[in-house]
Amino acid sequence: MNSPIRKVAAGCLMLVLLMLANITFVQAFQADDLNARSDNRRVLLDEYARERGPILVGADNTPIAQSVPTDGEFGYQRQYANGPLYAPITGFYSFLFGRSAIERAENGILSGDDDRLFVRRLVDLVTNRERQGGAVKLTIDPAAQQAASDGLGDFKGAVVALNPQTGAILAMVSNPSYDPNPLASHSISEQRAAWDALQETAVPEEDRQKPGLNRATAQTLPPGSVFKLVTATAALESGRYEPDSTVPGPAAYDLPQSTVDLPNQSGRGCGEGSEQLVTLTEALRVSCNTAFAFLGNDLGPEALREQADRFGFNSSPLEELNAAESVFPAELDPPSTAQSAIGQRDVRATPLQIAMVSAAIANDGVLMRPYLVEEVRGPDLVSVIEQTEPEELSRAMSPETAEELTRMMVNVVENGTGRNAQIDGVEVAGKTGTAESSEDRPPYAWFTSFAPAGDAQVAVAVVVEEADVAATDIAGGRLAAPIARQVMEAVLGS
């Protein structure tokens, strides 16, 4: 063999070896990532040709997402019962636009590709049976979910309900919502039209309602006065304050290093005497801005930030839905500390986070990690592959502080701004909030609560972003508290 032929042969051999090495690398190290890509059409075609597992809720395992046989090009059609009601949780499963929410997070089980179904896949291979996906059982209480949706009505906003003792999410509603069924259509044109509607491509940006946004977990807003629960907790945990300790509550708080005052919403002082002294309990009952602004600067930004972190701020609380981090800012000067202490300035929170605050207080100061998936089941829909175990996320406060805060929150509902959350025969603890947003839009109405106060079974957070009412009627006690009451009643009655 002459030299040129040897060189060509060596080159070809090298290319073959490199090709084999690349194939080995792809198969051994990149296969899972490539299969998981939402734009991998080969994988999607394979998935569409098999029965995808259902997403279940309730004691009777009602399917809110399931695949049914069809005679078309694809073997199965994904269908969503009560699509808009559950869309923020289930998400969508689309040939063109991939997956979202639980359809994305639990795709391995639902599609049948999860390693925990390996034995089942071997049996299917031997018996020449089509591969079938497993089932995902959610923690959602259908009665609470419906009550939250009915309560919100046409209001733009969100509701989250938790079991304080476990962290299980009992309800999660975001409004406006959307119907995921057209996105799962076998018609490409119908999918594209549904996607364009979801993205509001024909709507000016300033008028978009963002129906695809899960407002319960993906959007952070100023929490306003519901954040006073965090400030009150920091005060009690400091050892320097008790529920009957007095603080100044004048009509306006003179912000340090500033020519601007921070006023009470009523324009009046909260306390008594020339110094307008008010107890911590009374300050929470009437939601006294000036008293909590004073507390914020007296405690200092580090104490507030540490307490917020113990409640779950500045961390992602729900990986299943890629929940946004609620934020308590890192660098605060005295005026911004005072404003942050009442849930304004740069403080931002999701409804999920505010529900976690109430849940921690309700659970003797222990914050449980929130979760949506109760069980993962096999294709037979009966055998349990994995069951979620409740997990302690942090100790947000001492049991003594939790008990004191509970009594203070009961006072808010029985004698203060939260009267619209009262339930006959049930002791309810709660806190209202009204948060300023911007000069060109109305404030946000917040409410958070739990019940029964002595042995809480449910903690709720409600935010109303927009409502067709006069701006003067937008307040947490007026708009959000009745919604929370409906959800608590649904849980306690179920």
Q: What is the pLDDT of residue 1?
A: 55
**Residue that is written with structure tokens 């499963």 in the block:** 93
Mean pLDDT within 214-226: 96
pLDDT of residue 39: 56
Q: Are 370 and 103 spatial neighbours (Cβ–Cβ below 8 Å)?
A: no
Lowest mean pLDDT among 21-35, 137-151, 436-450, 457-471: 21-35
Cα separation, 109 vs 94, in Å, equals 17
| Helix, strand or coil, per DSSP, at residue 454 | coil
Are β-strands 62-69 and 55-57 bridged in parallel, bridged antiparallel, or unpaired? antiparallel
Peptide bond preceding 176: is omega within 30 degrees of 0, i.e. cis? yes
Model confidence pLDDT, tens digit, residues 315-358: 998 988 989 999 999 989 999 999 999 999 999 999 999 999 99
pLDDT tens across 57-90, in order? 999 999 999 999 988 777 899 999 999 999 999 9
- What is the pLDDT, as a whole number, of residue 472? 45
Percent of the chain surpassing pLDDT 90:
69
119 vs 112: which has the higher pLDDT: 112
Q: Residue 62 half-sphere exposure, CB side, CA atoms within 13 Å? A: 13
Is pLDDT at 477 greater than 90 in this prediction?
A: no
pLDDT tens sequence across 2-51: 777 776 777 777 778 777 777 776 666 665 565 555 555 666 666 677 88
| pTM, to two decimals | 0.89
Asked which of 68-82, 217-231, 277-291, 468-482 is least confident by mean pLDDT, the reply is 468-482
Q: Lowest-pLDDT range, 69-78, 247-256, 288-297, 307-316?
A: 69-78
Q: Is residue 249's pLDDT more than 50?
A: yes
- List the structure tokens of 431: 């806190």
The pLDDT, as a whole number, for residue 202 is 84
Q: How confident is the model at residue 91 (pLDDT cuts 50, 70, 90)?
A: very high
Instruction: Look at the domain 224-372+390-493 and name its fold.
Output: Beta-lactamase (3.40.710)
Residue 118 above 90 pLDDT?
no
Higher pLDDT, 272 or 279: 279
Reported as a pLDDT band with limits 50, 70 and 90, residue 473 is very low
pLDDT of 122 higher than 70: no
**In the predicted model, what is the mean pLDDT of residues 453-478?**
78
Distances (CA, A) of 279 to 163, 296, 303, 459: 31, 15, 20, 26
For residue 127, the model assigns a pLDDT of 53
Least confident of 317-326, 356-365, 467-476: 467-476
**446 in helix, strand or coil?**
strand
Q: Which of 100, 225, 287, 326 is catalytic?
A: 225
Q: For the ranges 118-122, 226-230, 424-428, 455-459, which has the lowest average pLDDT?
A: 118-122
Strands (DSSP E) contained in 144-207 are: 156-162, 169-175
The bridge status of strand 135-138 relative to strand 55-57 is parallel
Residue range 197-216: average pLDDT? 91
Domains of the chain, residue spans: 224-372+390-493
Q: Is residue 119 pLDDT above 80, yes or no?
A: no
Whether 225 is catalytic is: yes
- What is the per-residue pLDDT for 117? 67
Give the model's pLDDT for residue 225.
Answer: 95
